[in-house]
């Protein structure tokens, strides 16, 4: 019987090669990380025998899409608020990920939960998101034009000021294993990397994708501009048979920012929250700005007062 030698390098490595799927690994990682953060703070309070006002109870998911992360997060009994924000309101229509079942609506939780859906631009500020405990940005930043990233960073780290911010984004270095080079040589790859609909990117709507060095440099710039934050890097997604020594890192790279000191800033000069491209307007209180459209709220657990729409 004759056999045919197959060149495995010829066949692309599909995303289905990741087990579980890469998107699921991201959601599970973030959910487990938030659970560990909460446990860590609770243990610290018990060991030091102190009464601390800080407890992780609220998450804002920026660029939430169809709210799949919220589906994982609603299992965390200590959360009281999850706020989902996306530019595309259609993501919320017919969305079953955050619609409570009858059991979820009336069964007591450790803490009652409400999931609020908002339509808006992550580069604009809204006071209802200020001082949320955790901000999550799952595969978001690569969907923003690179020249608008500063507005996004300012909104999160200067105005919202969460205790933690978790950002995930594709690792461009890993695309080689995913066979996305399409015959480009190194020079052609570098020349074409900044173009929208780039065939080198994992999705056609990505404006850019960071290498590991570029992502670290970007995180360092945030830390330098907002010294009240520190960060560490992590990741998910490995093809062990193709990169056993992890020379290329993870398929998804993750930055976890933590606020170590307070950065009190109570005023903003631009109505849309980007603070600076247009003519400066009269300073206004940061607590009075609402740029997002509230779509609806879903309630889980004990009955909520429908007038309560703020983090407490």
Long-range contacts of 283-290 (CB under 8 A, 24+ apart): 286/125, 286/127, 286/130, 286/159, 287/127, 287/130, 288/127, 289/125, 289/126, 289/127, 290/126, 290/127, 290/128
The alpha helices in the chain, defined as continuous H runs, are 22-48, 68-73, 102-106, 149-154, 186-192, 212-225
Q: Are 114 and 299 contacting, i.e. CB atoms less than 8 angstroms apart? A: yes
* Range 232-246 average pLDDT: 92
Identify the band that residue 250 occupies on the pLDDT scale cut at 50, 70 and 90.
very high
pLDDT exceeds 60 at position 277: no
Closest CA to 79 of 98, 99, 57: 57
pLDDT at site 17: 80
Six-digit token string for 236: 């998910």
Q: What pLDDT is stored for residue 263 in this prediction?
A: 62
pLDDT at 271: 40
Q: Is the dihedral of CA 70, 203, 93, 167 positive or negative?
A: positive
- Position 202 confidence tier, pLDDT thresholds 50, 70, 90: confident
- Does this model's pTM top 0.75? My answer is yes
How far is C-alpha 216 from the geometric centre of its chain's CA atoms?
Answer: 16
Query: Which has the higher per-residue pLDDT, 95 or 166?
Result: 166
pLDDT at 196 (0 to 100) = 57
pLDDT confidence tier of residue 284, bands split at 50, 70 and 90: low
- Pick the more confident residue, 90 or 15: 90
Q: What domains can you pick out in the chain, each with its CATH number? A: 18-40+54-170+211-239+254-300 (3.40.50.150)
| Mean pLDDT value across the chain | 82
The answer to whether 174 and 248 have CB atoms below 8 angstroms apart is: yes
Residue 4: predicted pLDDT: 37
Q: What percent of the chain has pLDDT over 90?
A: 58
Q: How confident is the model at residue 305 (pLDDT cuts 50, 70, 90)?
A: very low
Burial class (CB in 10 A: 0-12, 13-18, 19+), 298: buried
Res. 89 pLDDT band, cuts 50 70 90: very high
pLDDT at residue 192 is higher than 70: no
Report the pLDDT averaged over residues 236-263. Answer: 90
User: With the C-alpha atoms ordered 154, 25, 66, 84, is the resulting torsion angle positive or negative?
Assistant: negative
Across 197-222, b (16+ Cβ under 10 Å) vs e yields ebebbbeeebbbbbbbebbeebbeeb
Helix (H, G, I), strand (E, B) or coil at 235: strand
d(CA 222, CA 216): 10
Report the pLDDT value the prediction gives residue 228, as an integer from 0 to 100: 97
Residue 312 has pLDDT above 70, yes or no: no
What percentage of residues in the chain have a pLDDT greater than 70? 75
d(CA 238, CA 216): 19
CA-to-CA separations, 71 to 40, 55, 62, in angstroms, rounded? 23, 21, 15
- 218, 198, 217: which is closest to 207 by C-alpha? 198
pLDDT surpasses 80 at 35 = yes
Residue 307 has pLDDT above 70, yes or no: no
To 10 degrees, the CA torsion angle through 85, 89, 92, 94?
A: 180
- DSSP 3-state assignment of 170? strand
284 — phi, psi (to 5°)? -135, 155
Judged against a pLDDT cut of 80, whether residue 74 lies above it is answered with: yes
* Residue 134: closest CA among 163, 158, 168, 155: 163
């Amino acid at each position: 019987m004759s056999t045919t030698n197959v060149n495995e390098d010829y066949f692309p490595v599909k995303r289905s090669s990741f087990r579980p799927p890469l998107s699921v690994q991201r959601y599970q990682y973030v959910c487990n990380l938030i659970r560990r953060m909460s446990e860590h703070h609770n243990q610290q309070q018990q060991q030091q025998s102190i009464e601390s006002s800080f407890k992780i109870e609220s998450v804002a998911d920026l660029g939430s899409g169809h709210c799949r992360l919220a589906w994982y997060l609603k299992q965390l009994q200590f959360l009281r608020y999850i706020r989902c924000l996306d530019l595309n309101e259609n993501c919320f229509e017919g969305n079953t990920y955050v619609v409570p079942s009858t059991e979820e609506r009336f069964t007591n939780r450790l803490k009652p939960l409400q999931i609020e859906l908002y339509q808006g631009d992550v580069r604009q500020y809204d006071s209802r998101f200020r001082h949320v405990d955790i901000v999550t940005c799952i595969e978001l930043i690569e969907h923003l034009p690179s020249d608008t990233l500063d507005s996004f960073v300012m909104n999160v780290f200067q105005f919202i000021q969460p205790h933690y911010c978790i950002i995930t984004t594709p690792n461009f270095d890993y695309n080689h294993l995913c066979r996305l080079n399409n015959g480009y040589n190194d020079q052609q790859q570098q020349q074409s990397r900044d173009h929208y609909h780039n065939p080198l990117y994992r999705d056609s709507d990505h404006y850019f994708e960071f290498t590991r060095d570029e992502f670290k440099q970007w995180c360092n710039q945030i830390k330098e501009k907002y010294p009240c934050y520190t960060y560490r890097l992590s990741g998910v997604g490995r093809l062990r048979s193709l990169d056993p020594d992890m020379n290329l890192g993870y398929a998804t790279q993750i930055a976890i920012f933590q606020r170590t000191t307070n950065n009190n800033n109570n005023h903003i000069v631009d109505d849309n929250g980007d603070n600076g491209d247009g003519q400066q307007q009269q300073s206004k209180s940061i607590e009075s700005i609402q740029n997002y459209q509230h779509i609806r709220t879903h309630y889980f657990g004990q009955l909520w007062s429908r007038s309560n729409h703020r983090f407490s």
